Amino acid sequence: MRYLPKSDSERRQMLEACGVSSPEELFSHLPEAVRLKRPLELAPGISEYEIVQYFRDRAAENANGHACFLGAGVYNHYRPVLVDTVVSRGEFLTSYTPYQAEIAQGTLTSIFEFQTMICQLTGMDVANASMYDGSTAVPEAAMMAGRATGRNRVVIARTVHPEYREVLHTYARHQGMPVEEFGYLPETGTIDLEDLERKLDDLTAAVIVQSPNFFGIVDQVKAAAEIAHRRGALLIVVFTEAVSLGILEPPADADIVAGELQSFAISPSYGGPYAGIIATREKFMRQVPGRLVGQTVDSRGKRAFCLTLSTREQHIRREKATSNICTNQALIALMATVFMTVYGKQGLRELAAQNLAKAHYLAATITPRFSGPFFNEFVTTVEGRPPDEVNKFLLKKKIIGGLPLGRFYPELADCMLLCATEMSKRADMDLVAQALVPAASGRVPAEEVAL
């Protein structure tokens, strides 16, 4: 088999050297009762060509060549060619966690750059070397706030991604951490500050909001910060669309930022692998979960990097660790680093501006449901028929429409969440607009009503 680099004669030599006459003898010490006495019921190994074909066949059973207007936490952005070029290098792809700094300076240096760029992007002082994804970064941030404040309650906005909230509930249930949700204003689609005030108390460790929120709307981060801080709670700001930070003011009032970097050249890949981040203020540095790379010198005085503050982590502090996390999404974070490098200071802004333009073009002919300012996603009410029906119609034109919101927000069952990025084509957006405008029901299209 091509992955097993031993010839039969070498195997024989080695068995002999081990004082064993057959490979089976290597396992003869295992208790009879535990041994599997039949072959695994899996088909024999297949060739490279057949493997490629298998996955091509699976891909053919998926959407192919569709224009996609889904966002909702996962975004279709162009992946610069350099990203795969860099991460495909064996030295990055097949290397291990950089515990041995002398032979891992490549990984360590790029993580240090990553940490820096995340700080620059989010306006925070410290960023870790990535979490599994945005959804798990949220409970990790909540637990961090718990450690930092000595409190254990959390309040979270309903406008935070619904699946992220689900993950928080799963984690919080077993931490003795009560979680309460607060609502949004039906006019603007932004958080209901009064509801937040009501739900907050002196036992609250953190207030969690998302901006742009799940509806795509830039939310009231500053106001939420004021309210939270007045009660001694920390503010955690979540983001799912990293490109928005190219143009939006970063959440300077946040104590902790928890986000998802999938937009930065990470393939949507049906839900993962992605890379989350946690970024925070200097004073919470020692509460941060996950790996941290720090700058130092080697014995010759040359600048070098190494994993540091490891005593927070599971392999040392064990049950008192800041988290049980072992992995960081190093290769995925490297994709994001290359993306950020390729676009750079100007490019990220231009990219964000294009996203803004595309989504606002789409929204011009489809009335957004909410009046709040939005980045590249917005909610629209579908008049006259269920959102699913519109999507069925669009599929015939090879377009995947927006996300019908009924599954997450029963009160918005007649709405869908639409996303347009730099990859959305004008012609496709026109088709979507046409499909949504209720010409079929005999009513006048929205733009003419406005006049």
Taking CB under 8 A as the criterion, which residues in 28-57 touch another protein? 29-31, 33-36, 39-46, 48, 50-52, 54-57
Q: Does residue 106 interact with another protein by CB under 8 A?
A: yes
Among 182, 264, 343, 370, contact with another protein (rule: CB under 8 A): 343
Rounded to a whole number of angstroms, the distance between the first and last alpha carbons of the chain is 72
Among 185, 193, 223, 331, contact with another protein (rule: CB under 8 A): 331
Q: Does residue 425 interact with another protein by CB under 8 A?
A: yes
Q: How far apart are CA 383 and CA 414, in angstroms?
A: 8
Residue 35 structure tokens: 């041994």
Q: How far is the CB of 322 from another protein (least distance, A)?
A: 9
Q: Which stretch binds another protein (CB under 8 A): 188-196, 228-236, 262-270, 436-444?
A: 262-270
Query: Whose Cβ is closer to another protein: residue 155's or residue 419's?
Result: 419
Query: From start to end of 303-344, where are the E strands?
Result: 303-307
Q: How far is the CB of 198 from another protein (least distance, A)?
A: 26
Among 181, 193, 203, 314, contact with another protein (rule: CB under 8 A): 314
Query: Whose Cβ is closer to another protein: residue 126's or residue 233's?
Result: 126
Q: Which of 163, 160, 166 is nearest to 182 (CA)?
A: 160
Q: Which of 119, 135, 139 is nearest to 127 (CA)?
A: 119
Q: Which of 304, 262, 298, 261 is nearest to 279 (CA)?
A: 261
Q: How far is the CB of 233 from another protein (least distance, A)?
A: 19
Which of the residues 183 through 242 are near another protein (CB under 8 A)?
218
Instruction: Indicate left, alpha or beta for 437 from its phi (over 0: left) and psi (-120 to 50: alpha).
Output: beta
Q: Does residue 263 interact with another protein by CB under 8 A?
A: no
Cα–Cα–Cα angle for 270, 271, 273, rounded to 5 degrees = 110
* 134, β-bridge pairs: none
Q: How far apart are CA 82 and CA 79, in angstroms?
A: 8
Query: Whose Cβ is closer to another protein: residue 166's or residue 226's?
Result: 166
Q: Does residue 371 interact with another protein by CB under 8 A?
A: no
Tokens 């799940």 — which residue? 214
Q: Does residue 169 interact with another protein by CB under 8 A?
A: yes
Q: Does residue 449 interact with another protein by CB under 8 A?
A: no
Q: Does residue 166 interact with another protein by CB under 8 A?
A: yes
Are 286 and 312 in contact, with CB atoms under 8 Å apart? Answer: yes
Instruction: Indicate left, alpha or beta for 216 from its phi (over 0: left) and psi (-120 to 50: alpha).
Output: left
Which of the residues 268 through 287 are near another protein (CB under 8 A)?
268-273, 275, 285-286
Give the count of residues interacting with another protein (CB under 8 A). 200
